[in-house]
Structure 1
Amino acid sequence: MKVSIVAAVAKNGIIGINNSLPWHLPEDLAFFKQTTLGCPVLMGRKTYESINRPLPGRLNVVLSGNVHWAPAPAKDGTPRSVIAYPAALPEGGATQIATATNLPNALNWLSNFEQVFLIGGSNLYQQALNQNLVDELILTEIHQSFEGDASFPQWDRQLFREVERITNTATPERAWGFDFVKYAKVDN
């Protein structure tokens, strides 16, 4: 199983403010969807609550230390069903919500999948990088600094090599550019 981090990161390392993105970048949202569709996405509880719904076409695994955590009901008031670790997981890209209490259990649970995307927040990214669990980073590197309260963790760039970069220049509507960059773990 390949474990990939997906994040949009400002020039100054910021990734969020008040459980939201500090920028509006439709190209990044489309890239994120295209990249993760059909694969499990693993996120912390705060990240899930900031989205406030399961991402369609993906198994949404939410990490929470609270074994009784449950997502908010759907807009029509219908409770959302949750698969709790270690119950059997569905195959494919069905829209489902699953919960686990820690990262190692969640990754073990997802081991039958070809690829898993870690989509936030900063604590999850830090934990995965510290435990050497990440095979690749897929970053939207934004060429602008933003104010925020959540940052992407420092990472050892010697452990990864850049394998792809797609440059997007500034436009009249957006005064700053950004790059989609893929970093692969260096084989030891």
Structure 2
Amino acid sequence: MGLEAWYMDGSDEDQRKPHRLNPNQSVSLDELRKLGVFHWKLNADTHETDPELKKIRKEQGYSYMDIITIARDKLPNYEEKLKMFYEEHLHLDDEIRYILDGQAYFDVRDKEDRWIRIAMKKGDLITLPAGIYHRFTLDETNYTKAMRLFVGEPVWKAYNRPADDSDIRQKYTSFFLTVIQRTN
């Protein structure tokens, strides 16, 4: 099965639950692409030697790589970090994550400011464009191991919403929410 994404309900229940609308409203890969979100399905078991991953890294210029394990017994200040990842924010650079094990969710805003939840599983590589509002959380398994990729030296700074006046947000909205929409 491919990547699964859906519009979220507005419930305050545990962030790790799926939060699907009833009835469920799926979001296609095509709809995600229109927001600048791209996805590849790779074989996580061979990530160290995978020619496909090497090719993507070379084409996209992802020179930096590290691996983070997000689990209660593996990540210092686990609860605070999870809270921080779940604060709505944007970055000045693309966010690239490759799930090597476990699963997690990325939530992104659509052009009407509605949340879309993207279910990430082992083998999913995703890129979120600079300037998109997003957040991250584990699901109810409370475990994921992810490769973080970056063009050049990593800058982990997050700009919490509201950051609408920032240059990168302006650039994102004018490109993805106007130019891309017009071409579809």
Give your verdict on TM over 0.5: no
Q: Which bracket does the TM-score occupy, shorter chain normalised?
A: under 0.3
Q: Which has the higher helix share?
A: 2
**TM-score (structure 2 length as normaliser):** 0.25
